[in-house]
C-alpha cells in the first residue's frame, strides 16, 4: 500500500468546479448521478462505479455529436473518483485505465486534473511496471525493402502508372506557400523530419511499451470503417503492440490505431514530434494532431477531409492515391450525412458496372517513405494503404478562408 500522503490524487479543478458541475447535471435530469457522485466523493467505491456507469449510458444515448457536454464532464468527474479509490489501494494499472477512459471519453472541464493524475500514477508505477520481459534483441521497426512486383499486386488497379506526386527535398516555407499551398496541389516534402526524436524512438517497440504500454487506447478492428464487420475496442497499448507483432498482411481483421489524438493523451510521445512550419501557412490554426499506427495491409478507404493535411510518415511505408476535389461527383460519395465525405467506390475491388465513371479518372499517387511528409489539400480525395508496419502523424489545420468548414 502507498503511504497516506502518496495515496492521494489531488484534483483542484474538481474541487473548485464540482459543485457547479453537479448543479448543471441536476438541471439535465441527472439526479441519480448527483446522488452517486456525492457518495463517491465521500469514498464509496460502489457509488463511484455507479456514477461512472450512469454517465457512460448518457454518452451512448445517441450520436456522439448530440451528447450534451455536461455528460462528458460528468464522466470525467466519475473517472476521477474511481481512479482516486483505485490509487489509494495501490491498484495502479486500474487507476491508469480509468483515467485514460476519462481522457478519451470525457469533457474538457476537468482535463487538467486527469492529466496531472495520470502523471502521478505513472510516476508511482515507475518504469518497471511498463517494461515487458527482457528480450535477446531489441524489437525494432526496421526498414523493409519492398519487391516492386509484390507491391503492385497488392495495390488498386493502375497504381503507380499515371502521375506520381512531386517530391521536393528541403522545401522552404515560402516555396511551399507559393507553389503548392496557394494552388492547392499535393507535394511530398523530404528531408524535413530528421530532427524528430520519433524518427529513432518509434522504431523501437520496447521504447513504445515502456512509455505507453499501460495506457488504454481506442483501436479499430477489421478491414476499414465501411465494412459491416468493422468494430472498435479499448485495449492497452501493450496489447495493441502484441497484436501488431502477431499480425501479417493476410489477416482479415487487422487492428489499427487510426485518427486518434494520442499525443493529447500521452504527453511523452508528444515530445517526440514537432509541428511542421508548413502547418502555419495561410495564417490559420492547427485543428488536430492524430496518430495512425498499424500493421501492413491496413487501409483507409477513399475519402476527403475539410482541412489542410500534412501526413508525416515516421516509420514504415504507405501507398497513397489522390483525386482532386473537382472529381467529387465522379467518385460517388455516400449520401448519408455521417459518410458524405467517403466514396462508395472500393478501390481494392473496383465495381465498374456500379461506378463506371471511376475507371478513366486521372489521379496522382505515391509511396510515402519513412521520413517524408505528404501535403494533402482540403477536399482532395485520398486512399491510404500501409505497405509495412507503419506509424504516421497527421496535422490538420485551417487557414482564414476555410476554417469554418466542417
What is the 3 state secondary structure string of the chain? Answer: CCCCCCCCCCCHHHHHHHHHHHHHHHHCCCHHHHHHHHHHHCCCHHHHHHHHHHHHHHHCCCCHHHCCHHHHHHHHHHHHHHHHHHHHCCCHHHHHHHHHHHHHHCCCCCHHHHHHHHHHHHHHHCHHHHCCCCCCCCCECCCCCCCHHHHHHHCCCCCCCCEECCEEECCCHHHHHHHHHCCCCCEEEECCCCCCCHHHHCCEHHHHHHHHCCCEEEEEECCCCCCCCCEEEEEEHHHHHHHHHHCCCCCCCCEEEEEECHHHHCHHHHCCCCCCHHHHHHHCEEEEEEEEEECCCCEEEEECCCCEEEEEEEECCEEEEEECHHHCHHHCECCCHHHCCEECCCHHHCCCCCCCCCCCCCCEEEEECCCCEEEECCCCEEEEEECCCEEEEEEEEECCCCCCCC
**Closest by CA position to 282, among listed 404, 405, 398:** 398
> Which residues lie below 8 Å from residue 404, measured CB to CB, with a gap of 6+?
none
Q: Does a structural domain hold residue 1? A: no
Q: Give yes or no: residues 188 and 330 share one domain.
A: yes
Q: Does a structural domain hold residue 130? A: no
Q: Are 58 and 91 in contact (CB under 8 A)?
A: no
Q: What is the pLDDT of residues 152-173, one digit of tens each?
A: 788 999 999 999 999 999 899 9
Q: Give yes or no: residues 272 and 164 share one domain.
A: yes
Residue 195: all three cell numbers together? 530532427
Q: Give yes or no: residues 93 and 178 share one domain.
A: no
Q: What is the pLDDT of residues 51-103, one digit of tens each?
A: 999 999 999 988 888 899 999 999 999 999 999 999 999 999 999 999 999 99
Q: Give yes or no: residues 216 and 333 share one domain.
A: yes
Longest dimension (CA), the chain: 70
Q: Write the CATH number for 202.
A: 2.60.120.650
Q: Give yes or no: residues 287 and 170 share one domain.
A: yes
Q: Distance between alpha carbon 339 and the CA centroid of its chain, in Å?
A: 19
Q: What is the pLDDT of residues 242-256, one digit of tens each?
A: 999 886 544 567 899
Number of domains composing the chain: 2
CA torsion sign for 152, 154, 158, 160 is negative
From its phi and psi, is residue 172 left (phi > 0), alpha (psi between -120 and 50) or beta?
A: beta
Domain coverage including residue 308: 148-398
Q: Give yes or no: residues 101 and 211 share one domain.
A: no
- Phi, psi of 382, deg, nearest 5: -145, 145
Q: Does a structural domain hold residue 143? A: no
Q: Give yes or no: residues 165 and 118 share one domain.
A: no
Q: Give yes or no: residues 214 and 340 share one domain.
A: yes
210 vs 168: CA distance, rounded Å = 36
Of the three residues 93, 125, 157, the one that is the final residue of a domain is: 125
Q: Above 70 in pLDDT, residue 143? A: no
Q: Give yes or no: residues 314 and 378 share one domain.
A: yes
Q: Give yes or no: residues 237 and 274 share one domain.
A: yes
Q: Distance between alpha carbon 3 and the CA centroid of its chain, in Å?
A: 37
Averaged pLDDT, 385-392? 95
Instruction: Please state the pTM of the whole predicted model.
Output: 0.86
Q: Give yes or no: residues 388 and 301 share one domain.
A: yes
| pLDDT over 90, % of the chain | 76
Q: What is the pLDDT of residues 317-350, one digit of tens each?
A: 999 999 999 999 999 999 987 889 999 999 999 9
Q: Does a structural domain hold residue 131? A: no
294 vs 255: CA distance, rounded Å = 7
Q: Does a structural domain hold residue 282? A: yes
Of the three residues 91, 125, 159, the one that is the final residue of a domain is: 125
Cβ burial, residue 351 (10 Å; 0-12/13-18/19+):
exposed
| pLDDT over 70, % of the chain | 89
Q: Above 80 in pLDDT, residue 238? A: yes
Q: Does a structural domain hold residue 136? A: no
- As a whole number of Å, the CA-based R_g of the chain is 23
Q: Does a structural domain hold residue 279? A: yes
Q: Above 70 in pLDDT, residue 132? A: no
Q: Does a structural domain hold residue 405? A: no
Q: What is the pLDDT of residues 293-318, one digit of tens each?
A: 999 999 999 999 999 999 999 999 99
Q: Give yes or no: residues 112 and 155 share one domain.
A: no
Q: Which residue is associated with the grid cell 476555410?
A: 402
What pairing do the DSSP bridges indicate for beta strands 187-190 and 163-164? unpaired
Amino acid at each position: 500500500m502507498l503511504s497516506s500522503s502518496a495515496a492521494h490524487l489531488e484534483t483542484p479543478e474538481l474541487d473548485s468546479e464540482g459543485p457547479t458541475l453537479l448543479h448543471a447535471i441536476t438541471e439535465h435530469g441527472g439526479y441519480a448521478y448527483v446522488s452517486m457522485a456525492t457518495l463517491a466523493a465521500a469514498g464509496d467505491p460502489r457509488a463511484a462505479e455507479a456514477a461512472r456507469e450512469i454517465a457512460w449510458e448518457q454518452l451512448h444515448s445517441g450520436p456522439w455529436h448530440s451528447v450534451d457536454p455536461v455528460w462528458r464532464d460528468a464522466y470525467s468527474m466519475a473517472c476521477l473518483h474511481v481512479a482516486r479509490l483505485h490509487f489509494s489501494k495501490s491498484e495502479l494499472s486500474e487507476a491508469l485505465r480509468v483515467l485514460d477512459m476519462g481522457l478519451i471519453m470525457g469533457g474538457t472541464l476537468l482535463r487538467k486534473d486527469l492529466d496531472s493524475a495520470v502523471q502521478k500514477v505513472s510516476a508511482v508505477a515507475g518504469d518497471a511496471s511498463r517494461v515487458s520481459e527482457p528480450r535477446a534483441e531489441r524489437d525494432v521497426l526496421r526498414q523493409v525493402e519492398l519487391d516492386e512486383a509484390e507491391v503492385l499486386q497488392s495495390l488498386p488497379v493502375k497504381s503507380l502508372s499515371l502521375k506520381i506526386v512531386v517530391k521536393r527535398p528541403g522545401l522552404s516555407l515560402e516555396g511551399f506557400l507559393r507553389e503548392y499551398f496557394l494552388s492547392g496541389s499535393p507535394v511530398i516534402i523530404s528531408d524535413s523530419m530528421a530532427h524528430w526524436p520519433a524518427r529513432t524512438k518509434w522504431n523501437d517497440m520496447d521504447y513504445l511499451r515502456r512509455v505507453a504500454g499501460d495506457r488504454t487506447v481506442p483501436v479499430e478492428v477489421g478491414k476499414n470503417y465501411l465494412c459491416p464487420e468493422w468494430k472498435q475496442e479499448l485495449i492497452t497499448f501493450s496489447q495493441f503492440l502484441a497484436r501488431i507483432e502477431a499480425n501479417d498482411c493476410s489477416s482479415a481483421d487487422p487492428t489499427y490505431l487510426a485518427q486518434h489524438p494520442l499525443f493529447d493523451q500521452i504527453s511523452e510521445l508528444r515530445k517526440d514530434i514537432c509541428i511542421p512550419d508548413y502547418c502555419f501557412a495561410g495564417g490559420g490554426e492547427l485543428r488536430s494532431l492524430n496518430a495512425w499506427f498499424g500493421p501492413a495491409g491496413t487501409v483507409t478507404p477513399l475519402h476527403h477531409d475539410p482541412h489542410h493535411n500534412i501526413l508525416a510518415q515516421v516509420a514504415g511505408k504507405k501507398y497513397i492515391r489522390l483525386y482532386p476535389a473537382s472529381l467529387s461527383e465522379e467518385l460517388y460519395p455516400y449520401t448519408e450525412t455521417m459518410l458524405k465525405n467517403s466514396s462508395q467506390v472500393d478501390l481494392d475491388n473496383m465495381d465498374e458496372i456500379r461506378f463506371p465513371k471511376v475507371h478513366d479518372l486521372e489521379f496522382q499517387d505515391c509511396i510515402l517513405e519513412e521520413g517524408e511528409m505528404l501535403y494533402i489539400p482540403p477536399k482532395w480525395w485520398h486512399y491510404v494503404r500501409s505497405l509495412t508496419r507503419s506509424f504516421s502523424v497527421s496535422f490538420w489545420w485551417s487557414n482564414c478562408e476555410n476554417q469554418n468548414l466542417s
